[in-house]
């Protein structure tokens, strides 16, 4: 990211906003196939060179210093410490970890934040809570605390107004969180059926942690990999019978970019009095208006809405006429304020980044559409996944007026053994996350499912799948990079 933004062709007036703050980058460059494998296996030659990474998976140096400083001041030598944003978040983490390890966990106030102090054997569980819940302390908040300048107050209401304009909701029905995963976690907690012991239903292959949190924070999840045919019909019948606490899906799914028949699901959910929750992170609210079908729409504002890859945030929006609206409003108001509030400095960065959102997405959509068509016609490419390809009817039903098919796509080569060569030769930014103004490529399955590749293959997700997030470069720049790389296929 540093090298790309050093290019004088990238100017603030072209972006319509300040350049990304690389000090608080939410991603990392993994330029070779071997570096991806090294990252997944924790090889020191890779990890020691990483200065930052996706915040729920790889702690920013400022956050790491905060954890170590807190440990030195309030914990014992054999303890492990994570710092969480609020007392409520720490208490929920405490209860979750204690259920898993059956050992007491301690909470201590720490300079306006909350430290969770756990025995060494609970280190992995503490880190999993940080990852899955999304209730994280941001790098800006950590740095401000370390500098003695942590700020009070909130500007989430200003972001809520902007998001409401995009989703068609009222500002009071839009709730802002410190991350997209925190918004989904709050939505799961809000489901009355979870308290009754019911499982949730996941339709289509989702982003990895979207499925994981239903497993670890809920009562388990029934997963339908392909929401079509007789299996889909059976799932709809089970929804009508009120079997599930809630139904989750993405529009479109990540990384296969599928969209379910939302109208049929919404109808079944209404009949079974079952909340329908849609995550729109993959396309973003400029492209899809999922509130037409969902009781609640969640989304990561880290991705397309920010566009800069330099701030984390999430949103949950309630459909005003949903029969479940009041229950969700009550939980979201409390969770967004008391569990995972967005730090004011991060809110200010996001508000600045939001200014160029619509303009960026028009370029991103055009580039995504053109690249999907170009790759689909390339002789070395076996399959391309993008909402514009094949039957588009389900996506078109949710597509916003003036929206497009998005900048996220995936593809697999005919000779998948050549994928590492193609990846290494690709002269674009490479690493996890998506939605940045610069195009970003990653071997998604390796990064998200390295320890379960056989399972993902069975779900129709190739181990050597490459996922692409198109940026706002000229399409000729993007096409030339892929043309050169695919010469190695």
For Cα atoms 410, 411, 416, give the angle at the middle one, nearest 5 degrees: 140
Q: What is the reported pLDDT for 8? A: 37
Give the confidence band of 4 by pLDDT, cuts at 50, 70, 90.
Answer: very low
Ordered domains of the chain (ranges, CATH):
2-26+356-486 (3.90.1150.10), 57-133 (3.30.1360), 156-353 (3.40.640.10)
Query: Which pairing describes strands 221-224 and 429-430: parallel, antiparallel, or unpaired?
Result: unpaired
Q: Is 74 left (phi over 0), alpha (psi -120 to 50) or beta?
A: alpha
Span 29-35, average pLDDT: 87
Express each pLDDT in 431-475 by its tens digit: 888 999 999 999 999 998 989 999 999 999 999 999 999 999 999
Determine the pLDDT at residue 40: 78
Nearest to 257, CA basis, from 445, 400, 423, 384:
384
User: Which residues does 60 contact at the CB level (< 8 Å), separation at least 6?
Assistant: 24, 52, 53, 139, 142
pLDDT score, position 53 = 59
Q: What is the DSSP string of 453-474?
A: HHHHHHTT--TT-EEEE--SS-
d(CA 45, CA 48): 6
CA angle 133, 191, 208 (to 5 degrees): 40
Radius of gyration, alpha carbons of the chain: 22
Measured distance CA(278)–CA(249) in Å, rounded: 5
Backbone dihedral angles phi then psi of residue 430, each to the nearest 5 degrees = -135, 130
- Distance between CA atoms of 335 and 208, rounded to whole angstroms? 23
> What would you measure as the largest C-alpha separation in the chain, in angstroms?
61
What percentage of the chain reaches a pLDDT higher than 90? 85
Per-residue confidence (pLDDT) for residue 57, from 0 to 100 = 64
SS3 381: strand
Band (10; pLDDT cuts 50, 70, 90): very low
C-beta of residue 205 within 8 angstroms of C-beta of residue 253: yes
Q: What is the sign, positive or negative, of the torsion defined by CA atoms of 436, 438, 439, 443?
A: negative
Number of other residues whose CB lies within 10 A of the CB of residue 375: 22
Q: In angstroms, rounded to a whole number, what is the distance separating the alpha carbons of residues 461 and 450? A: 12
Q: What share of the chain is helix, strand, coil (3-state, %, to 5)?
A: 45, 15, 40
Whole-number pLDDT of residue 126: 95
On the 0-12 / 13-18 / 19+ scale of CB atoms within 10 A, 2 is: exposed
How far, in Å, CA of 423 to CA of 466, rounded? 8
Is the predicted pLDDT of residue 344 greater than 70, yes or no? yes
Q: Among residues 358, 399, 406, 359, which one has the least CA distance to residue 385?
A: 406
* Spatial separation of the C-alpha atoms in residues 334 and 354, rounded to whole Å: 25
Percent of the chain with pLDDT over 70: 92
Q: Which of 47-61, 103-117, 267-281, 374-388 has the lowest mean pLDDT?
A: 47-61
pLDDT band at 112 (very low <50, low <70, confident <90, very high): very high
The answer to whether the beta carbons of residues 466 and 423 sit under 8 Å apart is: yes
Give the range among 60-64, 68-72, 296-300 with minimum mean pLDDT: 60-64
Average pLDDT over the chain reads 92
Q: How many CB atoms lie within 10 A of CB 177?
A: 30
The DSSP bridge pattern shows strands 276-279 and 247-250 to be parallel
Cα(193)–Cα(329) distance, rounded to whole angstroms? Answer: 16
Measured between alpha carbons, how far is residue 363 from residues 14, 15, 356, 377, 397 in Å? Answer: 12, 11, 11, 22, 22
pLDDT band of residue 48 (cuts 50, 70, 90) is low
Angle CA 384–386–391, to nearest 5: 100
Is the pLDDT confidence value at 26 over 60?
no
Residue 3 pLDDT more than 70?
Answer: no
Q: Which residue has the higher pLDDT, 50 or 100?
A: 100
pLDDT (average), residues 371-382: 98
In angstroms, the CA 19 to CA 22 distance is 9
The model's confidence at residue 19, banded by pLDDT at 50, 70 and 90, is low
Q: Lowest mean pLDDT: which of 6-10, 211-215, 443-447, 459-463?
A: 6-10
- DSSP letter (8 states) at residue 121: G
CA distance 192 to 473: 46
Q: What per-residue confidence (pLDDT) applies to 46?
A: 64
* Start-to-end CA span in the chain (Å): 26
- Helix, strand, or coil (residue 51): coil
Angle CA 256–404–485, to nearest 5: 55
* Structure confidence at residue 185 (pLDDT): 97
Task: Give the bridge partners for 430, in sequence order.
Answer: 441
Residues 218-272: tens digit of each pLDDT: 999 999 999 999 999 999 999 999 999 999 999 999 999 999 999 999 999 999 9
CB-based contacts of 44, cutoff 8 Å, min separation 6: none
């Amino acid at each position: 990211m540093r090298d790309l933004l050093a290019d004088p062709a990238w100017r603030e007036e072209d972006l319509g906003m300040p350049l990304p703050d690389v000090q608080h980058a939410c991603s990392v460059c993994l330029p070779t196939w071997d570096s991806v494998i090294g990252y997944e296996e924790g090889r020191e030659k890779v990890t020691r060179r990483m200065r930052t990474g996706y915040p729920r998976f790889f702690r920013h140096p400022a956050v790491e210093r905060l954890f170590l400083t807190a440990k030195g001041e309030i914990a014992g030598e054999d303890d492990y410490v994570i710092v969480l944003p609020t007392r409520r978040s720490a208490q929920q983490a405490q209860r979750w970890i204690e259920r898993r390890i059956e050992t007491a966990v301690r909470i201590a106030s720490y300079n306006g934040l909350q430290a969770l102090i756990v025995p060494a054997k609970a280190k992995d569980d503490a880190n999993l809570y940080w990852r899955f819940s999304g209730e994280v302390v941001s790098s800006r908040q950590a740095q401000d605390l370390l500098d003695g300048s942590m700020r009070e107050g909130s500007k989430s209401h200003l972001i809520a107004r902007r998001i409401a304009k995009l989703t068609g909701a009222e500002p009071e029905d839009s709730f802002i969180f410190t991350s997209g995963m925190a918004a989904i976690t709050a939505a799961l907690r809000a489901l009355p059926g979870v308290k009754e012991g019911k499982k949730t239903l996941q339709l289509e292959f989702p982003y990895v942690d979207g499925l994981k949190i239903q497993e670890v924070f809920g009562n388990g999840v029934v997963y339908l990999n392909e929401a079509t045919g007789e299996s889909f019909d059976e799932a709809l019948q089970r929804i009508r019978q009120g079997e599930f606490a809630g139904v989750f899906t993405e529009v479109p799914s990540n990384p296969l970019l599928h969209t379910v028949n939302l109208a049929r699901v919404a109808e079944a959910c209404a009949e079974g009095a079952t909340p329908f929750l849609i995550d729109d992170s993959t396309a973003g609210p400029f492209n899809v208006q999922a509130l037409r079908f969902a009781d609640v729409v969640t989304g990561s504002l880290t991705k397309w809405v920010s566009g800069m890859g330099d701030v984390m945030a999430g949103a949950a929006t309630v459909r005003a006429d949903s029969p479940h609206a009041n229950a969700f409003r009550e939980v979201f108001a409390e969770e967004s304020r008391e569990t995972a509030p967005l730090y004011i400095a991060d809110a200010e960065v996001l508000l600045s980044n939001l200014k160029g959102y619509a303009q960026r997405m028009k370029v991103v959509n055009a580039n995504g559409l053109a690249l999907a068509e170009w790759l689909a016609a390339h002789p070395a490419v076996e399959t391309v996944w993008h909402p514009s390809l094949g039957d588009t009817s389900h996506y078109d039903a949710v597509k916003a007026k003036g929206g497009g098919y998005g900048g996220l796509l995936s593809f697999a080569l005919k000779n998948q053994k050549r994928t590492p060569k193609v990846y290494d030769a690709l002269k674009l930014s490479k690493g996890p996350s998506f939605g940045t103004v610069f195009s970003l490529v990653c071997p998604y399955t390796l990064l998200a499912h390295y320890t379960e590749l056989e399972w993902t293959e069975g779900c129709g997700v190739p181990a050597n799948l490459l996922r692409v997030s198109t940026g706002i470069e000229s399409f000729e720049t993007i096409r030339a990079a892929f043309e050169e790389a695919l010469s190695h296929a």
